[in-house]
């Protein structure tokens, strides 16, 4: 019966009698034209000052050219414009990185701001439900800043008062498709401000060849690949534990072999040892000569090797007690990295109950007490469910490669990781495009980052064995 009128003026109604129709009478306020002109002039001046403050170079160049044209005529202004354009082109060809950093990305950010984000901001906010209408007035989150680099646009947004990060993370697909990109990630800058990351291209689309073996012995962080922003991916293994989860063919072996490859000089120098548990007999057996006899494939042998690692850990803890709180690798006390490929076979699918409990207890002991005395665990598995791996929360650093279900992303990386943009279930199953691509969530940073590990081929492993194996 009631009709909504502009302004939601339901409170301003007039009735004549109980049996007559309800008549709405919206309030009308007549504003003098001079006040309207003053308001628009004020807004224009504020916008002009804000533009000059935020974009001094972009506004100074056309202003200088316009003044030259007015003062000295168009020939001089045209010549000056040609000199500036030629100088910029020469700079771009001679030193492309500095040109991109100081000029190119800023111009691209301005263009993306005007042609994409500001143009579609209101419609995307309204359709996605992030804009609100209260008492007939529209409220929109404020688009504050756009920054560009080689692979993504970074948008700084001021949320509406009362909004939460989850309101935005629940709508990452709406935001991505609304602005014409394939994905979106949400990160909190500080109270009330968000950073939206919109990738324009995928720098991890092509496989990365095996990285060179380091020249100097080090226990980490070891370089194993590349991050999405182009920086080297360095994985910390000393002083932490790492859990790797991914479906069959997702590239878990790349992370294992890249880590081994980065530790080879330290192994040769006696500062590190890699103990390998390979119940599948398919992955780590290829380079068993690198493990200096610390290799096991039979479940009983795996249990013995884990018990030995627990014994080493406990003896070190007894010696370090009261003397030091952190481990420094030495020849006498090297860093010990326990690699477990397909840990679920030992902890969940092992038919011998007594052996299964023994292995689970040893892994839990190492994961809770080992990192302070220089004993780390890196475990890989396919199924991250709790009943398969009930100690996954004991691993501070987690890596999610391609997963079969969206729920598994939060199982591996923690609650809310997928809402923040860790779309591990969307990684391509085509090996050339998706093998080794993963989302990593580190103990020091709650935000998942997208990475790709280098591919270590069979020929690379043979070369490693020939150079660093026991016979060598």
Binding-site annotation, residues for ATP: 246-253
CA distance linking residue 461 with residue 69, whole number of Å: 68
Per the CB < 8 A criterion, the answer to whether 178 and 128 are in contact is yes
Q: Is 378 helix (H, G, I), strand (E, B) or coil?
A: strand
Which residues does 288 contact at the CB level (< 8 Å), separation at least 6?
A: 276, 278, 295
Which residues, listed in sequence order, are joined to residue 398 by a DSSP beta bridge?
243, 441
Which residue ranges are tagged as binding site?
246-253
The helix or strand, by DSSP H or E, that contains position 112, with its residue range, turns out to be helix 105-112
Q: Are the C-beta atoms of 335 and 266 separated by less than 8 Å?
A: yes
**What's the CA gap between 63 and 60, in Å, rounded?**
5
Three-state DSSP at 103 gives: helix
Say if CB 118 and CB 108 are below 8 A apart: no
Bridge partners, residue 432, by sequence? none
User: What's the number of CA atoms in the CB half-sphere (13 Å) around residue 188?
Assistant: 14
Residue for token pair 């990295």? 337
Helix, coil or strand: residue 356? helix
Structure tokens, 406 = 């969206």
């Amino acid at each position: 019966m009631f009709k909504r009128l502009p302004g939601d003026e339901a409170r301003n109604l007039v009735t004549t009698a109980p049996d007559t129709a309800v008549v709405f009478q919206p309030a009308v306020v007549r504003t003098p034209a001079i006040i309207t002109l003053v308001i628009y002039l004020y807004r224009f001046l504020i916008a002009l000052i804000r533009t000059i403050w935020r974009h001094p170079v972009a506004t100074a160049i056309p202003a200088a050219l316009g003044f030259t044209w007015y003062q000295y005529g168009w020939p001089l202004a045209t010549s000056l414009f040609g000199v500036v354009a030629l100088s910029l082109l020469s700079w771009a060809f001679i030193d492309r990185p500095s040109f991109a950093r100081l000029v190119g990305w800023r111009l691209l950010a301005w263009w993306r701001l005007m042609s994409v984000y500001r143009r579609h901001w209101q419609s995307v906010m309204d359709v996605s439900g992030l804009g609100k209408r209260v008492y007939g007035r529209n409220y929109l989150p404020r688009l504050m800043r756009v920054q560009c680099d080689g692979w993504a646009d970074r948008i700084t947004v001021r949320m509406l008062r009362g909004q939460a990060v989850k309101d935005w993370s629940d709508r990452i697909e709406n935001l991505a498709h609304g602005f014409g990109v394939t994905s979106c990630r949400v990160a909190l800058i500080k109270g009330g401000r968000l950073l939206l990351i919109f990738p324009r291209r995928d720098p991890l689309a092509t496989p990365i060849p095996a990285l060179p073996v380091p020249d100097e012995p080090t226990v980490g962080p070891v370089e194993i690949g590349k991050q999405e922003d182009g920086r080297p991916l360095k994985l910390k293994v000393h002083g932490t534990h790492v859990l790797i989860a991914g479906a069959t063919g997702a590239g878990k072996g790349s992370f294992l072999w890249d880590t081994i490859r980065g530790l080879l000089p330290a192994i040769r120098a006696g500062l590190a040892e890699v103990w390998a548990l390979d119940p599948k007999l398919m992955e780590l057996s290829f380079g068993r000569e690198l493990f200096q006899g610390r290799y096991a494939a039979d479940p009983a042998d795996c249990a013995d090797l884990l018990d030995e690692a627990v014994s080493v850990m406990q003896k070190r803890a007894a010696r370090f007690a009261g003397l030091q709180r952190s481990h420094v690798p030495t020849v006498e006390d090297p860093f010990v990295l326990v690699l477990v490929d397909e840990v679920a076979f030992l902890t969940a699918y092992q038919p011998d109950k007594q052996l299964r409990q023994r292995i689970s207890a040893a892994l839990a002991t190492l994961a809770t007490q080992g990192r302070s005395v220089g004993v780390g665990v890196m475990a890989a598995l396919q199924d991250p469910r709790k009943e398969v791996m009930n100690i996954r929360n004991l691993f501070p650093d987690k890596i999610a490669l391609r997963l079969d279900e969206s729920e598994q992303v939060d199982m591996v990386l923690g609650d809310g990781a997928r809402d923040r943009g860790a779309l591990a279930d969307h990684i391509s199953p085509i090996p050339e495009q998706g093998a080794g691509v993963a989302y990593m969530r580190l103990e020091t940073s709650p935000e998942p980052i997208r990475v790709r590990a280098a591919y270590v081929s069979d020929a690379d492993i043979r070369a490693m064995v020939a150079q660093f194996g026991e016979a060598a």
